[in-house]
Amino acid sequence: MEVVSYLLRVTLADRPGSLGLLAMALGTVGADIRSLEVIERGDGLAVDDVVVELPHGALPDTLITAAESVDGVSVDSLRPFTGKLDLHQELELIDAVAAARADRLQVLVDLAPRSLHVSWAMVVAGCADEPVRLAASASAPETPLTRADWLPLTQACELDGDAAWVPGPWRELATTLAAAPLARSGKALLLGRVGGPAFRPSEVARLSHLTGIVSGLVQSV
């Protein structure tokens, strides 16, 4: 049977049995959980990314209805997903960047979306008034970036997706944004997630850790 995969981000009570109840509820609409990653925990709640498969032709909105039928569960976002959740993807990215030579920036932006669960990635340099796009993933928007008020960047952070510098088409697609500096090279890795969800503090910390490792590899590129 042909199936379609979705990435469901949910907030639920961080207690035994919560995931079991969620799995049962999703099963009532024919969904099958394929993988799960805990994004954040705290104050009795957990934020999880759940990859589910739904029979082809089934309405994805049924996933939201089913999930939120469980007491204490709220859906943060739902979007189509290809691939799988796998923390080892970060190690694969680091290894791939290290193995590359002149195209290390391109390798970084090509693999970052899958590793960090975002829609696109690009490396930007320059200053606020004259940002320069040095590399971009195939899925990155074609709309040129004419301003980048967050440059130069000193630490990883979530960016305001509604700020004046954000190109209109990015805002229209409700793109959430985060960025991190690549050491002292003057370059920064910019990530976009079309339609959300917002970047959690743990995701920004993960981004900071990853760029901290690869910074030395791309510093001279």
**CATH code: domain of residue 120:** 3.30.450.40
Phi and psi at 212, nearest 5°, equal -65, -35
Q: How confident is the model at residue 105 (pLDDT cuts 50, 70, 90)?
A: very high
Q: Is the pLDDT of residue 25 over 70?
A: yes
pLDDT in tens, 108-152: 999 999 888 899 999 999 999 999 999 999 999 999 999 999 999
Which of 47, 80, 113 terminates a domain? The answer is: 80
Q: Could you tell me which of 134, 138, 132 has the C-alpha nearest to residue 120?
A: 138
Give yes or no: residues 120 and 183 share one domain: yes
**Mean pLDDT for all residues in the chain:** 89
**Which residues have CB under 8 Å from 187's CB, separation 6+?**
105, 123, 124, 125, 134, 181, 218
Give yes or no: residues 66 and 92 share one domain: no
**Which residues have CB under 8 Å from 42's CB, separation 6+?**
none
Q: Tell me the pTM.
A: 0.74
Which of 80, 99, 131 terminates a domain? The answer is: 80
pLDDT in tens, 39-78: 888 889 999 888 899 988 889 999 999 999 999 999 999 9
Q: How confident is the model at residue 221 (pLDDT cuts 50, 70, 90)?
A: low
**What pLDDT, on the 0 to 100 scale, is given for residue 220?**
55
Which of 61, 80, 99 terminates a domain? The answer is: 80
Number of domains in the chain: 2
User: What domain range includes position 39?
Assistant: 3-80
**What pLDDT, on the 0 to 100 scale, is given for residue 115?**
85
User: How many angstroms separate the CA atoms of 165 and 74, rounded?
Assistant: 32
